[in-house]
Amino acid sequence: MALEFRRVEPGDLAAVRAAVDPARSLEAWRWAYAENPGGSAGYAAFDGGAVVAHVGLISRRVWAAGKERGFAELTDLHEARPGHLALCAKALLEERGGPKGDTVVYGWPEGPAAGIATRLLGFETIRTETLLVREVGPGPAASEEVEALERCDEQLRWLFDRCAGELGALTIRDAAWMNWRYVDRPDRSYELLGVRDDEGVLRGVAVLAPRSKALALVDWLVPSDEPDVGERLLRAALASARRAGVEALETVLVPESPWFARAQAWGFRVRPARRFLLAKSFVRKLDDLWLRESWWTTLGDSQDP
């Protein structure tokens, strides 16, 4: 039987999962692709019922250069036979990439997949990620300065709009995206912390996720002119780390953010993360230089953390 290259359909889910990531549940796969509010797509090479290559795109609505655009993460890369991954990726990019589709496609591919992205698909290196790490140290294991958020509401968009005005590009963190990304994810658990003022208005949000020896600060949405809000969230995050019994708090922030320098003043130290953010833009205005200087990403912009 000849190889068939085509879009992944709902009926292909079991075969794709078995080939790409059999340890992931069907529920988690549906969450990523079918339930994502930004949309998604997959392209695969089929040899009969077997999936011999696969590429996924998880799309996000991003506020970039003053308007809403579609960015998509290149993910779930799988290749059982050399050459087929590039063919799947090219077909998917031709179908989805462009001013009316996903204006920027990005990801953190590793090994041979990174070479395919740069040499054959035209991806550029946007930045080498740096990890910010702070030892937890002694202190309280509880905090009354923040609120545990069970779900996000319409105030998230108001908070996002305040932050987005300072940045060139940022995934739109509204209630729909935050609840999908952190609250409704079936295979991982996150802790959402919020700071409200005396009138009950949400002033800042931090998202935490456990790791083996550290607590990851996965997301951070705080206006840069409110350092007191950031300090309250930091103290609460450190208290959570002490409750979890881990040694460190770690996060990724772009160097262009004012929070990057502030985090170092708070005791975070910069270490190499050994991850490279690659991207391919389909809009001339959002070239690799612009993305490098203006695009805010956190750990939450990747499917992995």
Mean pLDDT of 25-43: 94
Residue 73: exposed, middle, or buried by beta-carbon count in 10 A (0-12, 13-18, 19+)? buried
Domains of the chain, each with CATH number or no CATH: 4-122 (3.40.630.30), 131-273 (3.40.630.30)
pLDDT above 70 as % of the chain = 100
* Residues 81-135: tens digit of each pLDDT: 899 999 999 999 999 998 888 999 999 999 999 999 999 999 999 999 999 999 9
Q: What is the mean pLDDT of the chain?
A: 94
pLDDT above 90 as % of the chain = 90
Joined tokens for residue 196: 């409200």
Q: Which helix H or strand E contains 67, and what residues bound it?
A: strand 67-79
The pLDDT, as a whole number, for residue 176 is: 97
Angle, CA of 242, 302 and 179, to the nearest 5°: 70
Long-range pairs, 9-13, Cβ under 8 A, ≥24: 10/34, 12/42, 12/44, 12/46, 12/51
Q: Is the pLDDT confidence value at 265 over 70?
A: yes
CA dist 299 and 258 (Å) reads 17
Q: Is the pLDDT confidence value at 294 over 70?
A: yes
8 A C-beta contact, residue 202 and residue 246: no
The pLDDT, as a whole number, for residue 173 is: 96
State how far Cα 180 lies from the chain centre.
12
Residue 275: exposed, middle, or buried by beta-carbon count in 10 A (0-12, 13-18, 19+)? middle
Q: Where residue 1 falls among pLDDT bands split at 50, 70, 90?
A: low
Joined tokens for residue 2: 């000849």
State how far Cα 36 lies from the chain centre.
13
What lies within 8 Å, CB to CB, of 62 at 6+ separation is: 68, 69, 70, 71, 104, 169, 170, 171, 172
The pLDDT, as a whole number, for residue 161 is: 94
Tell me, what DSSP letter sits at residue 209? E
CA dist 277 and 104 (Å) reads 12
Mean pLDDT of 130-143: 95
Please say whether the dihedral angle defined by the alpha carbons of residues 170, 176, 178 and 184, taken in this order, is positive or negative: negative
State how far Cα 262 lies from the chain centre.
22
The reported pTM is: 0.94
Q: Which helix H or strand E contains 41, and what residues bound it?
A: strand 40-47
Q: Is the pLDDT confidence value at 166 over 90?
A: no
